[in-house]
Amino acid sequence: MKIYITRHGQTDWNTKWKLQGRTDTELNDFGREQARKTGEGLRRTGIRFDRVYSSPLKRALETAAIISDFAQEAVMKDDRLIELSFGQAEGTTGEERKSIPELAGFDNFFTDPEKYVAKDGAESFESVLARTADFWENEIRPLEKEVSNILVVTHGGTLQSLLLHIDHRELRDYWKVRFPNCSMNLVSLKNGSFKLEWSSRLFY
């Protein structure tokens, strides 16, 4: 079985470097074009999806439908794929966070994950790692003999967690790989073993 995993297309908040988290932003026109071209690129290589999973947030769900050519109603929305909540930091830029005393230390999220402490409704790394592991083990693994190709559409932070479960990076290396919007990653599942085949490939 092959599992293609991607980050949603671009939003206006992406262009402004604002933390989106659980804020339900929408794709911008360029993000929709990224998704469209990605879907076309995959189809040119003969890839068709048997099943599609997405975060329930609009930017991911629309990306999933455009790439796969599934109706949104046919995409399986899964809360385990939702982006981390950033609590009070949502909607802020890095520069803005420097002037908010309550967010002192938040940037450890990116620079030193082992020292990051989730506050005021934000989600911890332990939490996102647990829910994404559950997605792999209890949702995807049982499908090995039933499904050939799966598409999973998620978010930048959650995507890191999904792949960390496969490539066994340490938490300190959470951000070792960067994923542009709609960059594709391939995980295989064969004889009960997951393997990251390739990462951060663009089809547009």
Would you name the residues annotated as active-site residues?
Answer: 8, 83
> Is 190 in a helix, a strand, or coil?
strand
Distance of CA 6 to the CA centre of its chain: 6
> Is 140 in a helix, a strand, or coil?
helix
Task: Report the C-alpha gap between 64 and 136 in whole angstroms.
Answer: 18
What is the DSSP-derived secondary structure letter of residue 52? Answer: E
- Can you say whether the dihedral through the CA atoms of 174, 81, 90, 20 is positive or negative? positive
Task: Report the C-alpha gap between 139 and 146 in whole angstroms.
Answer: 12
